[in-house]
Structures are given as structure tokens and as C-alpha cells.
Amino acid sequence: MATASATAPDGSPVPAPAQMAGLIDHTMLKPDADEATVLRVAAEAREHGFASVCVNPRWVRQVHAELQGSSTATCTVIGFPLGANTTATKVAETDDAAAGGATEVDMVVDIAAANAGEEFEVVSQIRTVATAAHEGGAILKVILETALLTEEAKGLVCRAAAEAGADFVKTSTGFAGGGATEADIALMHGIVGGRLGIKASGGVRSYADAAAMVAAGATRLGASSSLDILAGDDTSSASSAAGSY
């Protein structure tokens, strides 16, 4: 595992625990999360200066209102968690999210198309959703769902995301098993590093996990155990939210 003395691929030092906040999308995607839980997560993000709060679409407006006046962005998910929606559905979700105040959207790629090698279809969908996101004032992160993709498909999605105008590639939803690995982050960095952001998500529960992902090339982290990361704990106490999302 990387430590605070390690460096990222660009030569910059891996941030110490207390400096990790600006890299973290503080996440609450549990399907049974209630409003009090979601608003608590938003309040934590405001207090600690996390990069964003990532929630399911039905909570976007509430989170956006809670974060007014802070530097923390409102983030939501599109085509989540399966990625099997049509492009038109993903665009409609993106438009609705942007209208509600989301400035970051994380879209699950068409997993079947990626594994089938249908690069044109993958590029076309990402480009269409990216256009909708950008017109709405949001950035687009493309979720690969690495646990379900072949190595060839992972590369295809990264290339497609760059070609189609996405802003980030992201490892996982947290719902398909597996999660972020140093190997997958390194692969993604090798293809899009320096051009797109790279988000490690799924199983990032401790500072050691977070530091290892940054050392491998991650520029953003998705975590529900964000407070444990800032505290430098080696294992998560699930202080804010259970699960690996």
C-alpha cells in the first residue's frame, strides 16, 4: 500500500490524510437511504470540504440546496447501476439532474456494448450524454464497471470516453462486486492520464486504500467512509455510511 511519502504518476506527493478531502466524492448511494441520512452526508461534505456529494437522482435538489454557499459540488448517477438504459433515457436523466443543480454526473457505460467491442456505439452514447451534461453545466464521469468488463473492454471504454468528450473515467458503481484496484487505475492512467480525470470508486474505505489509488493514478476518489480516510484510519468504521459505494 502507498503511504503519504509516495508520489502520484505526475510526481506530486500523495496527500496526507487531512489533505485528501478535495479529492473525495462523499457518497451515499444506498437505495434505502432516507432524507436525514442524505442531508447528514451533505453537511459532512460542507464541513470538510469534499469535492462533491454523490447521491441518487431523487436527492439532487435537496443536496444542492444544502450545499449552497460551499465549494462542494452536487453529483449524481446516470443509468445506475446497470448501465443498460437507452441513450435517450440517460440524456433525460442528465437533463433532469442538471436542472436540479447537479454539476457532476457519473454515468454507467453500456457494459454489453463495451464487452462486445462495439466501439462506435459506446462512443456515440458517451458523446451524446457528455453533450447534454456540458450544456447543462455539468461534467461527465464514465463508469466502466471494471468487475464486469474484459481487459480489452476496459481499454475500449477509456479510449471512447476520451474521444467522446467525457471529463473522467471511473472504476465502479460498488454494486457489481469487486471495486477499484491499483491495476485498473494504472491501466486507465496509461490510456487517459493527463487528458481525463480518473476516479477510483468501490472499496476505498481507508487512508491506505486512498493513498494507493492516488499513487496508481487516481485524481478523484469515491467513498462512503470518507471521514475515516481523513482520520488516517487503516480500516473503516463506517462512520458515515455502510457499503462500498
Catalytic (active-site) positions: 106, 170, 199
Q: What are residue 219's DSSP bridge partners? A: none
Cell reading at 109: 457505460
**Strand pairing report for 197-201 and 220-223:** parallel
CA distances from 80 to 151, 154, 240 (A): 22, 18, 22
Please report how the helices 119-135 and 151-164 are oriented relative to each other, as an axis angle in degrees rounded to 10. Answer: 40
Q: What are residue 168's DSSP bridge partners? A: 141, 197
Measured CA to CA, the distance from residue 2 to residue 206 in angstroms comes to 12
